[in-house]
Amino acid sequence: MRGAAGAVVAVAFALSACTMPPAWSERVDVTVEVYAPNFAASATSDVASSASSPSGILMICVIDSDSGAQCYHRRGVISARAKLASGVATCPGADAVLRSICPVAKACRFPEVPLPSSPFGLMIVELRAPRFGIPRHAIVDAAVVSGVSLRSTAPEATRIGQAVHALARCLSPEASDDALRLSSVERTSCADGFCQLGQSRVKFSSPQRNGVTAKRNLED
């Protein structure tokens, strides 16, 4: 009996370890601007912006080299995980109606986002309502962010790229893999100012104290 109970406990522990969100100690503010002409928010009339599209219906996802991911929206965090062998990912909660922390804004700043050590993956996601219970978010951009140089992180970058594709299929099952283009940027270029991805640009900065309100939105 004890042996059976021990086995159950071991299995439960293993399952919890698989679904446990990654623990990343560094926190930065991530600011995103989108310039995509086909961005769904481009029809929003009450946004004064020099960009062709506002950045008000966005979610960002951060992916580490162990295929763990966290996606940040207004009500909290989606903890996802990719299985590279099968090319699939689990993203519980992605089939809900999700809201951005920036409903109306030229640039969307996600405050105090935990980041893993470099390299890591970054996805810019346009939030869309599910259809018949199936998520159909749109992937605006995806990138591998390296620490020092792109060459030195090639093996991890390959794994991160595979995890990004798996997560994209989970967030948008009907989208084509061919539509997702993976960029590569060095982190320093995003810390000195905005770095260009594909249809968006991103900046990493030290957390700002005036981001308390937005932080509460993340945690609500």
Report the pLDDT averaged over residues 137-154: 80
So what's the pLDDT on residue 215?
A: 43
Asked whether residue 15 is assigned to any structural domain, the reply reads no
Q: What is the pLDDT of residues 168-197, one digit of tens each?
A: 999 988 877 777 889 999 999 999 899 999
Asked whether residue 182 is assigned to any structural domain, the reply reads yes
Asked whether residue 1 is assigned to any structural domain, the reply reads no
- Residue pair 175/139 in contact by the 8 Å Cβ criterion: yes
Q: Is the pLDDT of residue 2 over 70?
A: no
Distance CA 20, CA 157 (A): 23
Asked whether residue 47 is assigned to any structural domain, the reply reads yes
So what's the pLDDT on residue 66?
A: 93
Report the pLDDT averaged over residues 35-45: 47
**How many Å from the N-terminal Cα to the C-terminal Cα in the chain?**
43
What pTM does this model have? 0.76
Asked whether residue 2 is assigned to any structural domain, the reply reads no
Q: What is the pLDDT of residues 71-96, one digit of tens each?
A: 999 889 999 999 999 899 999 999 99
Asked whether residue 12 is assigned to any structural domain, the reply reads no
| Side-by-side strand order, sheet with 200-205 | 108-115, 26-34, 200-205, 195-196
Asked whether residue 13 is assigned to any structural domain, the reply reads no
| Full residue range of the structural domain in which residue 152 is found | 25-219
Asked whether residue 11 is assigned to any structural domain, the reply reads no
Total structural domains in the chain?
1
So what's the pLDDT on residue 131?
A: 87
Q: How confident is the model at residue 15 (pLDDT cuts 50, 70, 90)?
A: very low
